[in-house]
Structure formats: structure tokens, C-alpha cells
Amino acid sequence: MKLHVSIHDVSPAYEAQVFHLLDLCHARGIKPALLVVPNFHQRAPLADAPTFVDAVRMLGVDHELFLHGYTHRSAERTGMRAFVDQRIVSAGEAEFSNLTVTECAALVDAGERVMRDLSLRIDGFVPPAWTMPKGLVEVLAARGYAYTEDHLTVQRPKTGEVWPSLVVNFASRSQTRAITTTVFSRLSMLLSLGVRTRVALHPTDLRVPFLHNEIARLLDWAREQQITASEQFLAD
């Protein structure tokens, strides 16, 4: 079964955790894609962390680098839909939720500018909290993106192709959700559903002590699968 492994929220805000997760991957010969946030929560601009950026650029030699939003945090919105999206689904991390196409385009362009100014290649785009509003795929298509994903699918925007995909991750914001998702990750190991499967690690997973073991177990399982970069991941 094809597998794509990534580390989310690659930002100076999580420097220690990102490198810890990388060590866990590298110890197993896994080279995860790095989902880079240009200015996490508007308090960790990449440009202010040249040593971190140098390290990410070096990793880019043999790791994919994806743009992962701009600040990762949503603008304040009103209304029940926004409340549900932000407070319940993603705890305020769905940056692109409820944005207009114009707003989406402006954020993608701003992120691309930061990456370009720091000589960081962009191999794909993953919206924070996997929240993909209407029109975002078209924004990515117009910019030639070859890879994006949401909760349920992986996509090649420039051709409009979409595939169903399972994502295995630990929702570590609350203990209850962490337990639920741990069970899910074990199940998915057993089921091997035969669909393209993503393993997504988050720096905040490391805050939950029992998840350290679960991450190790998941990566031990992952190394036995066919781990691919995004291009081969989408190929038939």
C-alpha cells in the first residue's frame, strides 16, 4: 500500500518538536514531507529564524517542502458555520475556512513570496486543518500546483484529478480525541484498506506522553509500507 508521510507545522515556533519528529523518522529511514508555515500564529516569521530556515532548505535536498497556509490561524469570523468550523472542528486553526477565493489567492501568494525570498522550494500545498474552501483548488491549479490534500482526498490541482485517501494522525489537542485517534491509527494498520494513506505527524503530538509510543509504533508500521513522495503517491 502506498504511503505518504509528513510533518505538519514546520515553524520556528516548534523547532525542537519538528527536529524530534524528524529524528524519529530518520531513525527508520523515512524522509517525511515538511509542511512549512511562513508565520505561525503571526509570531514566528521564518525570516526571523535564519538558522532554522537554513536547516529546512538543506532538508529540502531530499525531503519535499509544502506550503502550509500562511499564519495557520483563521481570521475572526462570525456566524454559526464559522463557529462550528473553528471551535469544534479545528480549534481556530483552519486558516482558509470561510475565505473568499480572492482572500485564498492573497494568502497563497503571500506564502509563496516568503518561501521564494528564502529560497525554499514549494512541492505542494496543504491547507491548515485540511480545510479546503470552495475555489482554493482553482487558486492552486492556476499556480501550477501538482499536489494538495484535504481530510478525505489527495488531489493534483493542475489536472483536476482527485483520489480518496485515508489520513492517519493524532488529534492531540485534547486527551479524548488523542485516544480516539490512537485507536483509529491501530485499526488502519490492521485494515490496510488499499487506498492511498497519509501519515501526518504534528509537533503538538509530543505534548501527550503516551503518544510518543504510538508515534514510534506508527512509524515502525509505516517503514514496512511503500513510502513515496507526492508525485509517485498520486501516480497509478
Residues binding Zn ion (CB under 5 A):
8-9, 128
User: How far apart are CB 9 and Zn ion at their closest, in Å?
Assistant: 4
74, 95 contact by CB (below 8 A): yes
Q: How far is CA 137 from CA 40, 41, 169, in A?
A: 22, 23, 23
**CB closer to Zn ion, 133 vs 161:** 133
Q: Using CB atoms, what's the residue nearest to Zn ion?
A: 8
Helix then strand count (H, E) for the chain reads: 8, 11
How many C-alpha atoms does 86 have within 13 Å on its Cβ side? 18
User: How far apart are CB 225 and Zn ion at their closest, in Å?
Assistant: 23
User: How far apart are CB 232 and Zn ion at their closest, in Å?
Assistant: 23
Please give the Cα distance from 21 to 93 (Å, whole number). Answer: 21
**CB closer to Zn ion, 24 vs 129:** 129
- Could you tell me where the DSSP H helices lie in 128-229? 136-142, 175-191, 209-222
User: How far apart are CB 200 and Zn ion at their closest, in Å?
Assistant: 9
User: How far apart are CB 128 and Zn ion at their closest, in Å?
Assistant: 5
Q: To 10 degrees, the CA torsion angle through 145, 168, 17, 37?
A: 20
**CB closer to Zn ion, 1 vs 43:** 43
**CB closer to Zn ion, 38 vs 128:** 128
**CB closer to Zn ion, 130 vs 233:** 130
